[in-house]
Amino acid sequence: MNIKIIGVGRLKEKYLKQGIEEYAKRLSKFAKFEIVEVPDEKAPEQLSEAEMIQVKDKEGQRILDKIKDREYVFVLAINGKERSSEELAAEIDQLATYGHSDITFVIGGSLGTADAVNKRANAAISFGRFTLPHQLMRLVLTEQVYRAYMINAGSPYHK
């Protein structure tokens, strides 16, 4: 199984990097795990709607360049489907059973993801209506993927 997280922008915060590294190490027993960072598009604070679309499209192309045809793609989106940890675990297990051994999660930039990325995605997933920094979301997502594998292994970790 190959699990990849594509995130826009560089992760700078040491404490987030350490948390991700810990879960990545734990995950390595179950899957090949990698995080791919794509550069964020520099933009002024105040953007017109057209400029926002342009920024998302540029970041979106960078994301799409990192996705192969065979990958099953989840895009993280506020309007995506919320899942419990158990539901995500079951979905990952089912994907593996039916030949999807390459799973990619996409975390867009601060403006979200481009339409082209959303169209490429096989599913949209939401972690609720909270707005979280996308750097923190990498840690939360990595932990939830690890938790999914622990649930599928019948481990007491999830309790």
Residue 69 domain flag? yes
Q: What is the predicted pLDDT for the residue at 88?
A: 98
Determine whether the annotation assigns residue 76 to a binding site.
yes
C-alpha closest to that of 75 among 116, 130, 47: 116
Residue 51 domain flag? no
Planar angle of CA 134, 135, 139, nearest 5 degrees: 110
Residue 125 domain flag? yes
106 in Cβ contact with 72 (< 8 Å): no
Alpha helices, H only, 1-155? 14-27, 49-64, 85-97, 115-120, 134-152
Residue 29 domain flag? yes
Residue 47 domain flag? no
**Mean pLDDT score, 6-20:** 96
Q: Which domain holds residue 106?
A: 2-42+56-158
Q: What is the pTM of this model?
A: 0.96
pLDDT in tens, 122-137: 999 999 988 888 899 9
Task: List the CATH number of the domain containing 10.
Answer: 3.40.1280.10
- Is the pLDDT assigned to residue 5 strictly greater than 90? yes
Residue 49 domain flag? no
Determine whether the annotation assigns residue 136 to a binding site.
no
Query: Residue 13 in 3-state DSSP?
Result: coil
Residue 48 domain flag? no
Structural domains in the chain (count):
1
pLDDT in tens, 63-97: 999 999 999 999 999 899 999 999 999 999 999 99
| Six-digit token string for 42 | 């520099």
